[in-house]
Amino acid sequence: NAGVMQNPRHLVRRRGQEARLRCSPMKGHSHVYWYRQLPEEGLKFMVYLQKENIIDESGMPKERFSAEFPKEGPSILRIQQVVRGDSAAYFCASSPGIANTGELFFGEGSRLTVL
Amino acid sequence: AQRVTQPEKLLSVFKGAPVELKCNYSYSGSPELFWYVQYSRQRLQLLLRHISRESIKGFTADLNKGETSFHLKKPFAQEEDSAMYYCALAFDSSYKLIFGSGTRLLVRP
């Protein structure tokens, strides 16, 4: 089991461009969580998804940010019209859903730099 | 609102010394508390959870509801314990974790 896979690992965008971050959960996991980590800060919850459903997006900025977890394929975090303040590390985590013990399995993160 | 506070950004100790990484939380209900660890060049991973009442790699943590704390302790630190440690709280079955800002533990030889 390769674990949670995130790509790209590093992404550079200019202000106004779009950023797409992908996350493939561990095999057998149906729950995905996205977190953002700003420099010198802890991980901040953004969104929690199950296959084809957004369960909780209370941590997502109201504009420019969206997330999906389609029936087939990876979960995608999309940031439109990026600004410098979006520069951060974005972490994805997954859990099995059924018999969830609270252990989240994290990816290595995607580091977004906005020029 | 739920919140997790780790007051120390950096904790530096010598090998063999006791270690205590502090964690306090704000939540009026019955939370589940976790410690996650990130070693150099590795992913963030679960170290221990309070409901398990287990010792992992010599670390223990006791939930103190009166003081709303969940401090992580180890009697004798080892160099390989050097890492970032994050305290986290879950307050419902979604396990949408609320993380503290982390403490970097540096164990010197």
CB contact under 8 A, A45 and B102: no
SS3 helix, strand, coil % of chain A, rounded to 5?
5, 50, 50
β-strand A110-114 against A10-13: which pairing, if any?
parallel
Query: Among residues B57, B52, B65, B51, which one has the least CA distance to residue B83?
Result: B57
Give the helix/strand (H/E) hosting A48: strand A43-50
- The DSSP letter of residue B52 is G
Residue of B9, B23, B37, B97 to mutate for A, most A C-beta atoms under 10 A: B97
Grade residue A60 by pLDDT with cuts at 50, 70 and 90.
very high
Residue of B21, B43, B89 to mutate for A, most A C-beta atoms under 10 A: B43
| Residues from B in contact with A at Cβ < 8 Å | 4, 6, 32, 34, 43-46, 49, 86, 90, 93-102
pLDDT at B29 (0 to 100): 80
Per-residue pLDDT tens over the stretch B9-53: 999 999 999 999 999 999 878 888 999 999 998 999 999 998 887
Rounded distance between C-alpha atoms, residue A78 and residue B9, angstroms: 31
Q: Show the tokens assigned to B71.
A: 């401090």
Rounded distance between C-alpha atoms, residue A74 and residue A60, angstroms: 19
Rounded distance between C-alpha atoms, residue B90 and residue A7, angstroms: 27
Write down the residue that tokens 């394929």 correspond to: A73
A98 contacts A55 by C-beta, under 8 angstroms: no
Can you point out the beta strands (E) in chain B? Answer: 3-5, 10-14, 19-21, 24-26, 32-38, 45-49, 60-61, 72-74, 83-90, 98-99, 103-108
B51 contacts B32 by C-beta, under 8 angstroms: yes
Rounded distance between C-alpha atoms, residue B12 and residue B72, angstroms: 15
By C-alpha distance, the chain A residue nearest B6 is A42
Per-residue pLDDT tens over the stretch A64-78: 999 999 999 999 999
Grade residue A100 by pLDDT with cuts at 50, 70 and 90.
low
Q: Is A99 a residue whose pLDDT tops 70? A: no
Residues of A with CB below 8 A from B43's CB? 3-4, 106-108
Please give, rounded to a whole number of angstroms, the shortest distance from the CA of B79 to a CA of chain A: 23
Task: Report the percent of chain A where pLDDT is more than 90.
Answer: 79
Rounded distance between C-alpha atoms, residue B80 and residue B95, angstroms: 29
Length of chain B: 109
Q: How much is the average pLDDT of A1-24? A: 94
Q: How much is the average pLDDT of A38-59? A: 90
CB contact under 8 A, A103 and B49: yes
Per-residue pLDDT tens over the stretch B47-91: 999 888 788 899 999 889 889 999 999 999 999 999 999 999 987
- The DSSP letter of residue B30 is -
pLDDT at A21 (0 to 100): 98
Q: Show the tokens assigned to B74.
A: 């180890």
Write down the residue that tokens 């909780």 correspond to: A56
Q: How much is the average pLDDT of A7-31? A: 95
Residues of A with CB below 8 A from B93's CB? 100
